[in-house]
Chains A and B, each alone.
Chain A
Amino acid sequence: MKDFDTYRRRFVTSVLGIAATTALPVGVMFWQTAQGKEVDDSPASSKIRWGMLVDTTKCATGCNACVSACNKENGISGEVTDTSPQWIRKVNVTNPENGYSFTLPMMCQHCEEPPCVDVCPTGASFKRADGIVLVDRHICIGCRYCMMACPYKARSFIHQPVEDQLAEVPRGQGCVESCTFCVQRIDAGQQTTACQDACNAEGHQAIFFGDLKDPESSISKQLATYGAKEVLPDLNLHTGVRYQGI
């Protein structure tokens, strides 16, 4: 017991000592905040903007690897009915004038100015500091305005009760959902998405994912070399997903 009392006294002394020495820098920090300097220490930082580049010249017609990988990663059943959720879908495009056709995966484009966020009446649809557009299901009331507003038809409404969700990807009835750029992977420190991994595993390597604000990232270099277009660029949404060869 005597040993414990000694330990207790030393513990309190240490805590008080450290508290006194940290008081000054903490005061400076509050002063900085009061002066309007942004203190950004959350993991989703505005120093990063996550983006995706799809090379449609490499994307193979009939290949569905990205879609099934997305379903597996996010615990989506994958059955195709009129009301089943769809975070990513393959779209086949043909130019009627010259017959040039290609295929591309279409998903949430993670706009810089997302219309879904503009119209959301509750604030459930939001853009994270690192550019990922998400739905906070705690706040979503299932009104589906965002589905109307999205020019890319990227969002799905969950009509049926969901069972056996993955622990990292909570999903449920009555909410709208869409591609999250595999946010559970990013928050856990990974730098790839499930669709990208699946595409690479198929040997197509049509999907690049990375930080658009980092000029040294592979996606930035790819964009600088080849350039790429947004889908519906005249809407000025500045999408995070770009397509090469459209």
Chain B
Amino acid sequence: MKNLLSKGWIKLAAAGTLLLVGVLSLAYAEDNTQDTSRVPMPNVTAVRGKQCVEPTEFMRKNHMKLLIHHRISAVHHGDNQLADKYSIINCVNCHASTRDNSVTGPGDFCQSCHAYAAVKITCFECHSSKPSGTPPSFHPLISLGSGDKATRATMMRYQAYHGTLPNLQTGFSVKDLAGVMR
């Protein structure tokens, strides 16, 4: 009895299951290779200049913190929005798409990532999504070489804040510490 079952019924069931799994995996594999997936991957290529105001990894996680800081400093403390490199005006100036001159159209810099993350982007109900004036110029990143991680981070912070590394030959002042000490 036992032998009969194992020989006839189980074999058939195993073959059927294998076939089903094979067909299903094929179907899903085909689905995954298609370009039109349900949620398109964000397109974050639209940039002008060589470098963002902070390293890319930092910006991906923290751009909203910079913006909320700037929002308080600009509205309540009267910081010059045009001179503040963390202002939303600067974001738009560099990241507006060349296709539709905006950051909020389908596939544009802000919109594509926010659509992917399903985070509503309300900034541009009030703020202009189109670039204005001339975009600021950036210095290319220097090769940071070896060296310990903390020093490299300090140097990157310095460079991000001041645009370039200090010339140690000509002196180094207290003012230069802005953006380095936290």
* A interface residues, Cβ below 8 angstroms from B: 1, 4-5, 7-8, 10-12, 14-15, 18-19, 21-22, 42-44, 126, 128-130, 134, 136-138, 161-162, 164-168, 170-173, 175, 183-184, 186-189
Interface residues on B, range: 35 or more
Chain A residues closer than 8 Å to B131, beta-carbon distance: 167
Chain B residues closer than 8 Å to A44, beta-carbon distance: 76-78
Interchain residue pairs with CB less than 8 A apart (27): A1-B145, A1-B146, A5-B145, A8-B147, A11-B165, A12-B154, A14-B166, A15-B154, A15-B177, A19-B177, A19-B181, A42-B73, A42-B78, A44-B76, A126-B76, A128-B76, A134-B75, A136-B75, A137-B126, A138-B75, A167-B92, A167-B132, A170-B128, A172-B126, A175-B126, A183-B78, A187-B80
* B71 A138 Cβ-Cβ under 8 A: yes
Q: Once bound together, how far apart are the Cα atoms of A12 and B180, in whole Å?
A: 11
Chain B residues closer than 8 Å to A162, beta-carbon distance: 125-126
Chain A residues closer than 8 Å to B80, beta-carbon distance: 43, 187-189
* B127 A170 Cβ-Cβ under 8 A: yes
Chain A residues closer than 8 Å to B78, beta-carbon distance: 42-44, 128-130, 183, 186-187
* B125 A14 Cβ-Cβ under 8 A: no
* A167 B133 Cβ-Cβ under 8 A: yes
Q: Which of B75, B89, B155, B172 contacts A18 (CB 8 A)?
A: B172
Chain A residues closer than 8 Å to B155, beta-carbon distance: 8, 11
* A168 B125 Cβ-Cβ under 8 A: no
Instruction: Give the Cβ gap from B82 to chain A, nearest Cβ, in Å.
Output: 6
Digit string of B167-179 for contact with A (CB within 8 Å is 1, else 0)? 0100011101100
